[in-house]
């Protein structure tokens, strides 16, 4: 087994696994690495290897592994994590550059030969469940399909202590956010649920567990965010038996939902397209008063709805006014989410008001 010793860890490679053993001795070592201890990284999860000789301290080398999509939960939640604490980054002195370069060549070859990683591989890169986190504000417990926040700590606000706890099913979590300790001595982990926008400061946000700078609180919060993210990814693409296949498993594709930015963009485009042309309504012969609706599309072509549809409100009626204000309200929601610019919102609003 080839081994490379660096400043943060030692990496041992046996053609299928990179075993990362973090340096944990000494008070100056990273609390995050002490919590992680050892990671076994399958080479199939590696997408790219960035090796830069002479780019480190005192002309040492820098080695960075970049993993396949949905394989690195630490990078997903650690956008604000100092790069020297990234788990799949290693630096070393110039005197071991040739050893590092040899290992890089071996890793590249093995990664190219390996097939695509199993979606469940990501679970081997995070702490096992149940995972417990303790901070000055309270506790968190994650059990693979459920996350609980309890505000029982000394520094929990009166509002949070009154509410006591909140629980989340994994299926209702859109993503996790993590923020390092700020100038006031507080960082946090936030649970972002589907269709919800943060509407309170972390101190009183019931989707937030704050962590102080004492001990390893903020590193525990970081691991919690990464672990929940990994379980989300593994859950999103999980096998299920195909009908009539006798138990053969197929992968279930995740359909876009409220947490997908493309879903919101498509919704905004559809809403604008509906309002782009004039809305014309009249009763067709033989409709027996049930009111078929005719609308013009953007090219001026007529589109006729089938029987049984409700008639569109006629210009100048109370129903038409109500419909217009309903569309303005919908545009306002899209504008508030940042999916329409100020100019687009103002233009469409003016067009609607002109119809009253």
Neighbour tally for 212: CB within 10 Å: 18
Give the pLDDT band of residue 149 (cuts 50, 70, 90).
very high
Q: In the predicted model, what is the mean pLDDT of residues 57-74?
A: 94
* 268-275 mean pLDDT: 57
First-last CA distance in the chain: 78
Q: What percent of the chain has pLDDT over 90?
A: 51
Give the pLDDT mean for 94-114: 92
pLDDT digits (tens, 9 = 90+) for 74-86: 999 987 888 888 9
DSSP 175: E
- ∠215-218-224 over CA atoms, to 5°? 125
- The pLDDT of 307-329, averaged and rounded, is 59
| pLDDT at site 214 | 86
Distance CA 94, CA 55 (A): 10
pTM over 0.75: no
Question: What's the confidence (pLDDT) of residue 132?
Answer: 96
Give CA 107 to chain center in angstroms. 29
pLDDT band for position 256 (50/70/90)? low
- 317 versus 303: which is more confidently predicted? 317
Residue 283: band (very low, low, confident or very high) from pLDDT cuts 50, 70, 90: very low
Which pLDDT does position 270 carry in this prediction?
61
Q: Which residue has the higher pLDDT, 271 or 37?
A: 37
Mean pLDDT of the 261-281 span:
54
- Position 226 scores a pLDDT of 96
Burial 71-96 (b: 16+ CB within 10 A, else e): bbbbbbbbeebeeebbbbbbbbbeee
Confidence of residue 239 (pLDDT cuts 50, 70, 90): low
The mean-pLDDT minimum among 98-102, 138-142, 188-192, 289-293 falls in: 289-293
């Amino acid at each position: 087994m080839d081994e490379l010793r660096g400043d943060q860890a030692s990496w041992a490679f046996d053609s299928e696994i990179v075993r990362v053993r973090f340096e944990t001795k000494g008070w100056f070592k990273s609390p995050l690495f002490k919590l992680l201890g050892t990671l076994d990284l399958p080479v199939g999860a590696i997408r790219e290897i960035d090796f830069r000789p002479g780019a480190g301290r005192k002309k040492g080398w820098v080695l960075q592994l970049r993993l396949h999509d949905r394989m690195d939960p630490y990078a997903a939640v650690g956008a604000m994590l100092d790069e020297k604490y990234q788990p799949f980054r290693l630096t070393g002195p110039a005197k071991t550059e040739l050893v590092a370069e040899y290992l890089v060549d071996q890793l590249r070859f093995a990664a190219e030969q390996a097939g695509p990683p199993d979606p469940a591989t990501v679970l081997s890169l995070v702490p096992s469940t149940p995972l417990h986190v303790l901070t000055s504000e309270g506790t968190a417990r994650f059990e693979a399909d459920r996350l609980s926040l309890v505000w029982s700590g000394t520094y929990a606000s009166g509002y949070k202590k009154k509410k006591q706890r909140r629980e989340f099913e994994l299926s209702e979590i859109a993503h996790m956010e993590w923020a390092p300790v700020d100038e006031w001595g507080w960082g946090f982990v936030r649970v972002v649920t589907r269709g919800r926008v943060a509407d309170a400061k972390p101190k009183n946000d019931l989707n937030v567990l704050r962590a102080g700078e004492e001990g390893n609180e903020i590193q525990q919060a970081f691991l919690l965010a990464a672990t929940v993210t990994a379980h989300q990814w593994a859950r999103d693409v999980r096998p299920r038996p195909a009908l009539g296949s006798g138990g053969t498993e197929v992968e279930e594709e995740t359909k876009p939902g409220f947490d997908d930015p493309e879903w919101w963009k498509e919704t905004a485009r559809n809403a604008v397209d509906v309002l782009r042309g004039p809305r014309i309504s009249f009763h067709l012969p033989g409709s027996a008063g049930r009111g078929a609706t005719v609308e013009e599309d953007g090219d001026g072509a007529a589109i006729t709805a089938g029987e049984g549809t409700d008639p569109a409100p006629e210009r100048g009626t109370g129903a038409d006014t109500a419909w217009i204000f309903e569309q303005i309200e919908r545009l306002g929601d899209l504008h508030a989410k940042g999916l329409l610019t100020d100019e687009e919102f103002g233009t469409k609003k003016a067009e609607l008001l002109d119809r009253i």
